[in-house]
Structure 1
């Protein structure tokens, strides 16, 4: 901010929960805070606690600043209103910035539960480092339900363009599944199993059906590799499954599993 003429006052009190862990401030500084625009603006002197920690927030206004401004906050309208003489000033927020800050808080909660005493970066989620642009979150009140096919509905963001709404599949740029792997887990590649000519023939046929239907596709340079398993059905045919035991061991257990959904 190029504030050479200002000096930080020493602070010994630590902050808790700012970005998911203890933060020791660099100091405190008193700066003029101005809200509003043009002739409808108000300036007050406000004390700020300076911290050296990555966050989506530039500043956080506390209750003392709100009281000094005599401000009224509406999270629904994303506005702050305050008196300026006999008139009312206004400060507007925007949904992209609010969503970014909310996602930042969600990351912190996820990392805090995964850390358990281990050092982890702010952007390390599910065992891999993700770019901040990869995560897309839309609050429930910003969604609406549309019908993509007869009898099939889905929740989407209200601000989606018309061309995006007409998509019959979800682009990875919009939403992408990722494995929730425990930190420190190493990928396992199972050795190829042979089940005999008859079972191998059944496996090849079912794989070809999935390929032709577009449900699966071939990839190279695998990190996890699991064999298929044929399970006999009551119709004397076989159902092809996948042996995910090694992968399941590397994933955290769900404390609230689904009930019997049948």
Structure 2
């Protein structure tokens, strides 16, 4: 249907549950999908040239900590160094670009490498009203403090380094008596480094969800 069609129908899709809900005159109707048809559409969407190829099954596209299962980009990518003094500052562009276009793109990226934020420390002075997240937590729900997890030495060191960087940049601060306490979750990136995420499962569960915001049904 596309985004314009979904907007026109005031529809709310759920790819996980294979269902689409949208309002009608006397209520809400739902249309359920077919798993086999969805798989065939998924495979077709990954075949822009019509020749097909090896496709990662849907059930294998979840995030794994060992990073062994990962969807592949549509084309090969080549690294482009942005700073000759720091070889780790690289970005990637498509390997199949025409040489003139590739050259202009590389020059443009290198000339504007100051727009890339490699660490939290290079983004000072941002208004907290712009970047602060506020959760719509149900006031009747009691805060949950997750039990402390144990981590392997390499993950523990990565957590320590990430927290120290965020503290130094002023992006986070220590709270002595938290009502909510969530553990970090370490996910390995494609370059072999660790990405630190936060387990907000309990907090998300306490936030009311409105599946049909601003919905107005015609009587």
When normalised by structure 1's length, the TM-score is: 0.31
Who wins on radius of gyration, i.e. which is larger?
Answer: 1
- Relative contact order higher in (CA < 8 Å, ≥ 6 apart): 2
Structure with greater helix share of residues: 2
When normalised by structure 2's length, the TM-score is: 0.36
